[in-house]
């Protein structure tokens, strides 16, 4: 009995000790902080940047289908050749095909309207230029404005050069003036009619020279150069991708460029500006990619990053160098600034050709 009593007392004592231990509060630590303070941002967390747009875009799982570039200029011209090369990288980088559709005419307005009629889902890009806003509206009634688009990234600086057929014997502006003063009306090929940059600048040049001339419009730069090579016109205006090989082969002559500092083209050398030749006429054009202004900004970032990845590719850089050009990596702000400057400059030239 005594043994049972001893065992019972031992059990009661053990249970009492356990109860006391379970209810005992933990000892306070002198340096401990309140629990809620552990959720406050540390300096490193406060300095962490917001999630990048490209990271946000990656979460969209976009694009999921074919992307179209609306090209307002004809097949084989500088913008067409470059955009097709860029599009060839889409499968590898974006995982979807990209095609180029040419919608020519109306000094680029037909292509612009086709682009603006497409869904604003990011699957339609436009190969845009400055004159569609700085020049064309002065000659053609348009129902669009710069607010309808968002420039994404530049494509190229448009380096217009005036050329003649080598068989004509005209190698400089003095020779062209002499030809006109002999009673000849200079026929010149342009990429479009009134409202087009090439038409306006070459017409303004001839007005400055005081020579009789007649414009012969074509849909694109390559067609204009082909007409000159075929001796259907006396003069043409073009950019390096369309005329470079013909000049190197001795079929065409360069008379000068509208780029104020002149132009250096691989395989040709330095082409003097008209400004350096004593004529106060200059123009720097550009082509760039644009989307509808209402396209999701995250999708815009994906498209912009895609183009910049292409520009960074050594093979693409070699491709551009072979054409005597370099990719223009301008952002939207720089592009809009150039359009504004171009609009101001055109106030001088438009009255000369209207």
Last residue of a domain, one of 271, 298, 331: 271
User: Does one domain contain both 172 and 218?
Assistant: yes
pLDDT (0 to 100) of residue 334: 97
Q: Residue 176: inside a domain, yes or no?
A: yes
Last residue of a domain, one of 271, 295, 315: 271
Helix (H/G/I), strand (E/B), else coil: 288: strand
User: Does one domain contain both 169 and 253?
Assistant: yes
User: Does one domain contain both 94 and 147?
Assistant: yes
User: Does one domain contain both 75 and 119?
Assistant: yes
Q: Residue 11: inside a domain, yes or no?
A: no
User: Does one domain contain both 95 and 153?
Assistant: yes
b/e for 171-203, b at 16 or more Cβ within 10 A? eebeebbebbeeeeebbbbbbbbbbbbbbbbbb
pLDDT (0 to 100) of residue 195: 83
Q: Residue 29: inside a domain, yes or no?
A: no
Q: Residue 39: inside a domain, yes or no?
A: no
Last residue of a domain, one of 211, 242, 271: 271
User: Does one domain contain both 116 and 89?
Assistant: yes
User: Does one domain contain both 87 and 175?
Assistant: no
User: Does one domain contain both 153 and 98?
Assistant: yes
Count other C-beta atoms under 10 Å from residue 90's C-beta. Answer: 19
User: Does one domain contain both 152 and 293?
Assistant: yes
Q: Residue 2: inside a domain, yes or no?
A: no
Residue 267 sits in a domain of what CATH number?
3.40.190.10
Whole-angstrom Cα distance, residue 191 to residue 237?
8
Helix (H/G/I), strand (E/B), else coil: 99: strand
pLDDT (0 to 100) of residue 300: 97
User: Does one domain contain both 251 and 104?
Assistant: no
User: Does one domain contain both 213 and 306?
Assistant: no
Count other C-beta atoms under 10 Å from residue 276's C-beta. Answer: 13
Considering its fold, how many domains does the chain have in total? 2
User: Does one domain contain both 211 and 239?
Assistant: yes
Q: Residue 309: inside a domain, yes or no?
A: yes
Task: Name the residue range of residue 177's domain.
Answer: 161-271
Q: Residue 48: inside a domain, yes or no?
A: no
Residue 318 sits in a domain of what CATH number?
3.40.190.150
Count other C-beta atoms under 10 Å from residue 347's C-beta. Answer: 10
DSSP-derived letter for residue 273 is B
Residues of the chain under the 50 pLDDT cut:
1-54
pLDDT (0 to 100) of residue 55: 54
Q: Residue 195: inside a domain, yes or no?
A: yes
Residue-wise pLDDT for 40-92, tens only, equals 333 443 444 444 444 555 678 999 999 999 999 888 888 999 999 999 999 99
User: pTM of this prediction?
Assistant: 0.78
């Amino acid at each position: 009995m005594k043994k049972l009593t001893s065992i019972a007392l031992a059990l009661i004592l053990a249970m009492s000790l356990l109860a006391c231990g379970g209810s005992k509060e933990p000892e306070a630590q002198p340096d401990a902080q309140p629990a809620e303070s552990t959720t406050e941002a540390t300096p490193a967390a406060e300095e962490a940047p917001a999630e990048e747009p490209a990271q946000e875009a990656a979460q969209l799982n976009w694009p999921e289908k074919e992307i179209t570039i609306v090209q307002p200029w004809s097949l084989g011209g500088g913008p067409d050749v470059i955009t097709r090369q860029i599009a060839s990288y889409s499968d590898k980088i974006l995982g979807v095909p990209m095609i180029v559709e040419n919608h020519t005419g109306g000094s680029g307005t037909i292509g612009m309207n086709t682009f603006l009629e497409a869904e604003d889902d990011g699957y339609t890009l436009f190969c845009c230029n400055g004159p569609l806003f700085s020049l064309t509206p002065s000659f053609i009634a348009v129902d669009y404005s710069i607010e309808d688009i968002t420039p994404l990234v530049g494509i190229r600086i448009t380096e217009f050069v005036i050329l003649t057929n080598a068989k004509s014997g005209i190698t400089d502006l003095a020779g062209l003036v002499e030809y006109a003063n002999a009673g000849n009306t200079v026929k010149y090929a342009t990429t479009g009619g009134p409202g087009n940059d090439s038409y306006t600048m070459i017409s303004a040049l001839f007005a400055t020279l005081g020579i009789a001339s007649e414009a012969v419009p074509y849909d694109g730069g390559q067609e204009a150069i082909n007409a000159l090579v075929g001796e259907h016109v006396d003069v043409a205006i073009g950019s390096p991708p369309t005329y470079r090989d013909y000049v190197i082969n001795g079929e065409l002559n360069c008379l000068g460029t509208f780029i104020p500092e002149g132009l250096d083209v691989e395989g040709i050398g330095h082409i003097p500006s008209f400004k350096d030749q004593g004529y106060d006429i200059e123009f720097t054009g550009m082509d760039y990619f644009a989307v509808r202004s209402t396209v999701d900004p995250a999708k815009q970032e994906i498209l912009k990053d895609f183009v910049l990845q292409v520009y960074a590719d050594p093979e693409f850089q070699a491709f551009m160098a072979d054409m005597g050009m370099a990719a223009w990596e301008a952002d939207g702000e720089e592009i809009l600034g150039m359009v504004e400057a171009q609009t101001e400059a055109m106030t001088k030239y438009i009255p000369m050709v209207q």
